[in-house]
Amino acid sequence: MCGIVGMISYRKVSSLLLEAIKKLEYRGYDSVGMACLHEGSLEIRKDIGKIADVDSKVDFTSMEGTSGLAHSRWSTHGAATKINAHPHSNMEKSISLVHNGIIENHHELREMLVKKGYQFSSQTDTEVIVHLIDSYYRGDLREAVSLALKKIDGSYSIGLLCSQHPDILIAARKDSPLIIGIGKKENFIASDVPAILSYTKKVIYLENEEIAVVKRDSAQVFDLDGKERKKEVHMIKWSTEKAEKRGYDHFMLKEIYEQPDVISETVEGRIGDESIDLSSEMKMSAADIKGIKRIIIVACGTSWHAGLIGEFMIEELAKIPVEVEYASEFRYRDPILERETLVVAISQSGETADTLAAIREAKKKKAKILSIVNVVGSSIARESDMVLYTKAGPEIGVASTKAFTSQLVVLYLMTVYIGAVNGSIVTDQVKNRVRDIRLIPMQIRSILEEADHVELHAKKFFTKENALYLGRGINYPIALEGALKLKEVSYIHAEGYPAAEMKHGPIALIDKNMPVVVVATQDNRTYKKVLSNIQEVKARGGVVIAIETKGDTETKKYVDHNIYVPKNSYILSPLLASIPLQLFAYYIALLRKHDPDMPKNLAKSVTVE
Ligand code: F6R
Instruction: Determine which residue's CA is closest to atom 8 belonging to ligand 1.
Output: 400
SS3 369: strand
Q: Which residues line ligand 1 (CB under 6 A)?
A: 300-303, 347-349, 352, 355, 399-400, 484, 488, 605-606
Instruction: Determine which residue's CA is closest to atom 10 belonging to ligand 1.
Output: 302
Query: Do both 139 and 260 map to the same domain?
Result: no
What gap in Å lies between CA 122 and CA 78, rounded to an integer? 8
Q: Which atom of ligand 1 is nearest to the CA of 403?
A: 14
Tell me, what's the pLDDT at 604? Answer: 61
Query: Do both 169 and 77 map to the same domain?
Result: yes
**Single pTM value for the model:** 0.74
Instruction: Determine which residue's CA is closest to atom 11 belonging to ligand 1.
Output: 301
Tell me, what's the pLDDT at 245? Answer: 81
Q: Which of 230-234, 432-436, 544-548, 566-570 has the lowest mean pLDDT?
A: 230-234
Residue 433 confidence (pLDDT) above 90: yes
Q: For residue 536, what is the domain's CATH number?
A: 3.40.50.10490
- Ligand 1 test: best mutation among 297, 305, 349, most atoms within 8 Å of CB? 349
Q: Which atom of ligand 1 is nearest to the CA of 485?
A: 7
Supply the DSSP string of 541-595, one letter for each residue. Answer: T-EEEEEEETT--SGGGT-SEEEEE----TTTHHHHHHHHHHHHHHHHHHHTT--
CA distances from 538 to 457, 522, 532 (A): 18, 19, 10
Region at 271 (left for phi over 0; alpha for psi -120 to 50; beta for the rest): beta
Mean pLDDT across 436-442: 97
Confirm whether 368 is domain-assigned. Answer: yes
Query: Do both 144 and 247 map to the same domain?
Result: no
- Annotated catalytic residue 604: yes
Q: Which atom of ligand 1 is nearest to the CA of 305?
A: 10
Residue-wise pLDDT tens digits, 399-427: 999 999 999 999 999 999 999 999 999 98
pLDDT band at 606 (very low <50, low <70, confident <90, very high): low
Confirm whether 597 is domain-assigned. Answer: no
Give CA angle at 236 (230, 240), nearest 5°.
145
Short-list 313, 378, 319, 394, CA closest to 345: 378
Query: Do both 292 and 427 map to the same domain?
Result: yes
Asked whether the CA dihedral 299, 304, 308, 310 is positive or negative, the reply is: negative
What gap in Å lies between CA 100 and CA 86, rounded to an integer? 10
Residue 607 confidence (pLDDT) above 70: no
Mean pLDDT across 146-152: 97
Residue 516 confidence (pLDDT) above 90: yes
- CA of 399 from ligand 1 middle (Å) equals 8
Report the side by side order of strands in the sheet with 543-549: 493-498, 466-471, 515-519, 543-549, 561-565
pLDDT band at 79 (very low <50, low <70, confident <90, very high): confident
Confirm whether 200 is domain-assigned. Answer: yes
pLDDT band at 241 (very low <50, low <70, confident <90, very high): low
Tell me, what's the pLDDT at 15? Answer: 97
Mean pLDDT across 36-49: 96
Query: Do both 215 and 268 map to the same domain?
Result: no
pLDDT band at 602 (very low <50, low <70, confident <90, very high): confident
Q: Chain-wide mean pLDDT for the chain?
A: 93
| Number of domains present in the structure of the chain | 3
Q: Which of 304-313, 394-403, 408-417, 434-443 has the lowest mean pLDDT?
A: 394-403
The torsion defined by the Cα of 220, 9, 16 and 247, in degrees rounded to 10, comes to: -30
Residues above pLDDT 90, as percent of the chain: 79
Confirm whether 598 is domain-assigned. Answer: no
Mean pLDDT across 31-59: 94
Note whether 68 and 13 are within 8 A (CB): yes
- Ligand 1 test: best mutation among 324, 325, 352, most atoms within 8 Å of CB? 352
Residue 608 confidence (pLDDT) above 60: no
The number of beta carbons lying within 10 Å of the beta carbon of residue 262 is 26
Tell me, what's the pLDDT at 65? Answer: 98
- Annotated catalytic residue 151: no
Tell me, what's the pLDDT at 170? Answer: 98
- CA of 405 from ligand 1 middle (Å) equals 13
Query: Do both 272 and 411 map to the same domain?
Result: yes
- CA of 302 from ligand 1 middle (Å) equals 5
- Ligand 1 test: best mutation among 359, 374, 481, 606, most atoms within 8 Å of CB? 606
**Where does a domain end: 419, 448, 477?**
448
Residue 213's domain comprises 3-236
Q: Which atom of ligand 1 is nearest to the CA of 302?
A: 10
Q: Out of 151, 231, 363, 604, which one is annotated catalytic?
A: 604
Q: Which of 258-272, 463-477, 569-583 has the lowest mean pLDDT?
A: 258-272
Tell me, what's the pLDDT at 152? Answer: 94
Query: Do both 361 and 502 map to the same domain?
Result: no
Tell me, what's the pLDDT at 392? Answer: 87
**Where does a domain end: 399, 419, 448?**
448
Query: Do both 284 and 158 map to the same domain?
Result: no
List CB contacts of 536: < 8 A, sequence separation 6 or more: 502, 503, 507
Note whether 214 and 161 are within 8 A (CB): no
Residue 489 confidence (pLDDT) above 80: yes
Query: Do both 287 and 328 map to the same domain?
Result: yes
Q: For residue 207, what is the domain's CATH number?
A: 3.60.20.10
What gap in Å lies between CA 97 and CA 140, rounded to an integer? 16
- CA of 303 from ligand 1 middle (Å) equals 6
Which residues on adjacent β-strands are paired with residue 496? 469
Q: How many CA atoms lie within 13 A of 103 on its CB side?
A: 26
**Where does a domain end: 236, 256, 275?**
236
Query: Do both 83 and 34 map to the same domain?
Result: yes
Confirm whether 389 is domain-assigned. Answer: yes
Confirm whether 596 is domain-assigned. Answer: no
Q: Which of 25-39, 470-484, 582-596 has the lowest mean pLDDT?
A: 25-39
Residue-wise pLDDT tens digits, 524-533: 889 999 999 9
Mean pLDDT across 582-599: 95
Q: Out of 2, 36, 162, 300, which one is annotated catalytic?
A: 2
Instruction: Determine which residue's CA is closest to atom 3 belonging to ligand 1.
Output: 301
Supply the DSSP string of 311-349, one letter for each residue. Answer: HHHIIIII---EEEEEHHHHTTS-----TTEEEEEEESS
Mean pLDDT across 133-160: 96
Residue 195 confidence (pLDDT) above 60: yes
- Ligand 1 test: best mutation among 298, 300, 390, most atoms within 8 Å of CB? 300
Confirm whether 604 is domain-assigned. Answer: no
What single letter denotes the amino acid at residue 16? L
Note whether 101 and 74 are within 8 A (CB): no
Query: Do both 203 and 58 map to the same domain?
Result: yes
Asked whether the CA dihedral 529, 532, 537, 543 is positive or negative, the reply is: positive
Q: Which residue has the higher pLDDT, 177 or 362?
A: 362
Confirm whether 600 is domain-assigned. Answer: no
**Longest Cα separation, the chain:** 81
Instruction: Determine which residue's CA is closest to atom 9 belonging to ligand 1.
Output: 301
Query: Do both 384 and 491 map to the same domain?
Result: no
